[in-house]
């Protein structure tokens, strides 16, 4: 892993770059462009940028209108306001008519930090995946944020993308091939014993900033003789069921890891697939366990809510018992 960058920063940079190649791209913000990083697009293309003010529901409705007139509309605010305050408008004005709007929400999860529970949205992935036809994407690092944004802007239909406030390690290369709806295999975990190939002992399916923690957990476990497969499930919906079932069949143990509530999020989505299959597989979920956030440093909150590499490693070992 190399440098660190916040996925919201990468989002802002790539959005401005897309402005040069996508003439129908318009961007809206709810008076937070300095934080969501849409300020870069605003500076480059002021005639295609719209500040709706502190009126998130109006912003989403404006985006719907622009999309209905043929534009590719991207709208941004904090995840709490996008998925919470504007949920009904996203559902009825974007999801129901299946309009080409990309809701790009920043400052998601507990790593918002000192802003506390009122701004720490852990419910967004669960909420957005309930909307029929909504694609839900949660990039793991700065590079994947850019690549997946490119793909989202160029696809037709509603998309919810989640970005974080805190800087996270970069582990993808710009040449990486990322496909919406297909999990990335970052670590196979297969190994050889007495000349015989064996599948990984367990699989960690992670999303967003938890992918870096999953890779760190795999390194910790490798030193203890435990071999782990790591999947980056950057697309929560449509979920890569094929990758989940492959992991269930080959490893028999899955730990999901997300910086959000396990109620309806990635853990629930994976469990739904496993429960509906014939595979004999145990599932454990790392995530926010039916709690509100609280104020604190991002690292302290990751520890408090059991989201670190050591917590993932412990969950894997628990399944191996």
Dig out the tokens for 165 from the structure: 């406030």
Cα 26 from Cα 178, distance rounded (Å): 24
The question of whether 56 is a catalytic residue gets the answer yes
Cα 180 from Cα 172, distance rounded (Å): 15
> Phi-psi region for residue 306, left (φ > 0), alpha (ψ -120 to 50) or beta?
left
Cα 14 from Cα 208, distance rounded (Å): 18
Report angle CA 128, 141, 35 to the nearest 5 degrees: 70
Residue partners of 106: CB distance under 8 A and separation at least 6 = 8, 11, 32, 35, 36, 37, 76, 77, 78, 79, 163, 164, 165
Among 14, 56, 210, 259, the one annotated catalytic:
56
Could you list the active site residues? 56
């Amino acid at each position: 892993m190399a440098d660190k960058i916040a996925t919201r920063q990468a989002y802002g940079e790539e959005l401005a770059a897309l402005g040069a190649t996508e003439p129908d791209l318009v961007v809206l913000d709810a008076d937070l462009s300095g934080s969501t990083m849409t300020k870069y697009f605003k500076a480059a293309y002021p005639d295609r940028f719209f500040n709706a003010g502190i009126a998130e529901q109006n912003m989403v409705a404006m985006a719907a209108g622009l999309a209905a007139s043929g534009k590719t509309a991207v709208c941004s605010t904090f995840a709490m306001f996008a998925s919470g305050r504007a949920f009904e408008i996203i559902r009825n004005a974007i999801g129901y008519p299946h309009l080409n709007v990309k809701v790009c929400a920043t400052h998601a999860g507990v790593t918002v930090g000192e802003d506390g529970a009122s701004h720490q949205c852990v419910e967004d992935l669960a909420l957005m995946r309930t909307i029929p036809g909504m694609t839900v994407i949660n990039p793991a690092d700065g590079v994947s944020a850019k690549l997946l944004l490119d793909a989202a802007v160029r696809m037709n239909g509603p998309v919810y993308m989640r970005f974080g406030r805190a800087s996270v390690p970069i582990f993808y290369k710009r040449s990486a091939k990322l496909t919406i709806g297909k999990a990335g295999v970052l670590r196979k975990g297969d190994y050889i014993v007495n000349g015989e190939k064996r599948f990984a002992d367990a699989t960690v399916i992670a999303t967003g900033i938890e992918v870096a923690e999953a890779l760190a957990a795999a390194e910790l476990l490798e030193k203890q003789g435990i071999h782990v497969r790591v999947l980056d499930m950057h697309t929560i919906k449509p979920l890569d069921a094929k990758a989940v079932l492959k992991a269930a069949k080959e490893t028999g143990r899955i730990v999901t890891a997300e910086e959000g509530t396990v109620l309806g999020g990635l853990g629930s989505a994976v469990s739904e697939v496993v429960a509906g299959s014939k595979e004999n597989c145990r599932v454990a979920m790392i995530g926010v366990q039916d709690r509100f956030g609280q104020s604190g440093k991002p690292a302290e909150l990751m520890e408090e809510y059991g989201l670190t590499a050591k917590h993932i490693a412990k969950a894997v070992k628990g399944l191996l018992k």
